[in-house]
Structure formats: C-alpha cells, structure tokens
Amino acid sequence: MFEILKAGGWVMIPLVLASVAMVGIILERFWSLRRSAVLPPKLGPEVRAWARSAKVEKDHVEKLRGNSPLGAVLAEIVAHRQRSRDILRSKAEDAGRQVTHRLGRFLNALGTIAIISPLLGLLGTISGLIRMFLVITTAGIGDANALAGGIGEALVATAAGLVIAVIAYVFHRYFRGRVLDLAIDLEREAGLLIDSLEQGPEAAPARPAR
C-alpha cells in the first residue's frame, strides 16, 4: 500500500488527508443521525400529554430543550403554548430550521471533498505527465523506468481521486436525504403537539421522559 501511495507522487498527501476527513465525517454523521437520537420514540406522546397539563415548569422545558433535536422543537412550542396557532407554527418553524441546520453539520465539507478529490487526481495526472516529458527531454525515450514512474504517478493519482470522490458523493447524498426525512418527521411531531394543545388542558399532569 505504501508503495502505491508513493507512486502517486506528492498529490497523494492531500488525497490521503481528504480520505481521512471523509471517513471521520461519515462515522460521525452515522452516529449523530441515528433516529433514536434525533427522534426518541416515546418523547412525542409524553410531551403532548405533559404540555396539556395545567402547569408547566420552566426547568422541565429547558431539560426538554436539551433532550434531543425533537425535544428542542417541542420545547419551543411548549414555552409559547398560550399563544395563537400561527405563532406556535412560526416558533416551531424557526426551531426546526435551526435543528435541521445542526443535523446537516459537516455535509458541506463532505460535498467539498467529493468535488476537489477528482481535481487533485487530475493535478496528479498533469504532474506525472510533466515528469514524463521532462524525462523524454533530458534522457530521451530510452529510460523506461523514469517513463513508467511518470505514467504510474498519473494513473495512481487519478484513480485515488476518483475513488475518494465517488465515496464522498454517495454518502453526501445519503446523509442529505436522511436529514430531509428527519426534518419531515420533526415537522409532523410539531404539528401533532400544536393540535394537541388546541384540545385544552388535562386535569392530571404528566412529565416527559428524561
């Protein structure tokens, strides 16, 4: 493996760094975008029951806000539950945009890696061709080893850049779609809470899950 990287020339250094960053982002996003972490399964129904109680304590709202991305959206609605439906929807949309922005963290970096990797590979190709032409200029075509080194540098750099770009692009599209799906589910849960608040308070309060 080291010999292959060495054959790719100096451009393999930024390509290796890009690949390491890509793997780190992919692993981090898989962990952060788990459905159970973004949308705890029982949180929505429990908050709907709790928010309709006669009294809502402020510290419980703050705990809910730090619970999860879903908790942050629902807490914004609960904090303004006495306001009109239009205001509640506006607050939910504002909170949803902020949460969705956080869910999409590092995806721009992943897209950048997908764009620049083939360009770095192309730069390595040009570097290898220049090296090959310099050999021809100085030593003629008789130095087969030097010519093979230039060709190898061009091919290895191109292949590495394309492989990194394909992987980064596939996961970028996958995570973008996952964020969109989670955002739709967040919007649905917010709508259910707003509809629940319009039904009036309940006699017995209930607390949301920790």
0.85 surpassed by pTM? no
Say whether pLDDT at 127 is over 90. no
Q: What is the 3-state secondary structure (H, E, C) of 64-82?
A: HHCCCHHHHHHHHHHHCCC
Q: What is the largest CA-CA distance in the chain?
A: 94
* Nearest alpha-carbon partner for 47 in 79, 24, 9: 79
Say whether pLDDT at 149 is over 80. no
Measured CA to CA, the distance from residue 68 to residue 73 in angstroms comes to: 9
Sequence-distant (≥ 6) Cβ neighbours of residue 206 within 8 angstroms: 46, 49, 50, 53
Give the per-residue pLDDT at 80: 85
pLDDT tens profile 163-208: 999 999 999 999 999 999 999 999 999 999 988 887 765 543 445 5
* Nearest alpha-carbon partner for 106 in 165, 34, 162, 24: 24
Looking at every residue in the chain, the average pLDDT score rounds to 84
145 pLDDT band (50/70/90 cuts)? low
* 200 backbone φψ class: left, alpha, beta (φ>0; ψ -120 to 50): left
**Average pLDDT for residues 20-27, to the nearest whole number?**
97
Measured CA to CA, the distance from residue 54 to residue 61 in angstroms comes to: 14
Backbone angles phi, psi at 53, to 5 degrees: -70, 165
Least confident piece of the model among 9-18, 25-34, 124-133: 124-133
Give the per-residue pLDDT at 10: 78
Least confident piece of the model among 27-36, 130-139, 149-158: 130-139
* Nearest alpha-carbon partner for 176 in 107, 77, 81, 122: 107
